Amino acid sequence: MIFDALIIGGGVSGMQCALVLGSAKNKPYAVHKKIAIIMHQRTSHLENALFNNVLGLEPKTLGKDLLISGKEHLSTLYPDITQIENEKVLSIRELNSIFCIETNKKSYQSKIVILALNYSKPFLIKGLDGFIIPHQKANPGKDRIQLKNDDHLIKEGLYCCGTIAGCRSQFAIAAGSGASVATDILTLWNGNNPTKIHDKL
């Protein structure tokens, strides 16, 4: 199977991207799209986060709890999105406009890939070395990295969101970045007609 979109990373930006893509499941341009997310979360900064400053979250919400509830939210509302657990991406390469993704366990193919990873070193995914630059908005003393991109687009079919896209490490910024990438992909699937998704009563 070739996925239409494969998200790599199960933190804030990756899950938010998946939720927005999933919410378009009944739209004619997205109804048959195959979407997956590789839920590697071991290096997510949410593991040790405490949130008191995010609109919509109860004060003292723990990031590690959000990692769990986010996966449940995604599987309950959008079960058609494939959640791939316990796999780490080792390499990405492009072949005839299809991205080939190798993990420690399997191989996948996708027309679109979204990298939703954190900005820490070392960055170990082979095939993306040429896109790595110093992070433009992080404290230089922290030695963080990002992927070269133009408004989340690295190259045709290859996107990034969250801190690896150059965003600051704030929950709302990372979530917004993931949502932005999702609406860009939905716009692409909708014949380049600007697209947004809102549930209504």
Q: Considering only CA atoms, which of 56, 36, 55, 52 is closest in space to residue 113?
A: 36
Mean pLDDT per 10-residue segment, the chain (201 residues): 96 96 95 94 79 94 93 96 96 97 97 96 93 95 96 98 96 96 97 91 83
Give residue 41's pLDDT.
63
Would you tell me the crossing angle of helices 12-23 and 171-189 to the nearest 10 degrees?
40
Cα–Cα separations (whole angstroms), residue 75 to 18, 69, 121, 158: 10, 10, 30, 24
Q: How far is CA 92 from the centre of its chain?
A: 15
Q: Kindly state the tokens that stand for 72.
A: 């449940």
126-162 b/e (C-beta count within 10 Å ≥ 16 → b):
ebbeebeeebeebeeeeebbbbebeebebeebbbbbb
Rounded CA gap, 109 and 1, in Å?
A: 7
Give residue 183's pLDDT.
97
Q: Kindly state the tokens that stand for 184.
A: 């860009």
Q: What is the pTM of this model?
A: 0.96
Give residue 47's pLDDT.
85
Q: Kindly state the tokens that stand for 129.
A: 């070395």
Give residue 46's pLDDT.
84
Give residue 115's pLDDT.
98
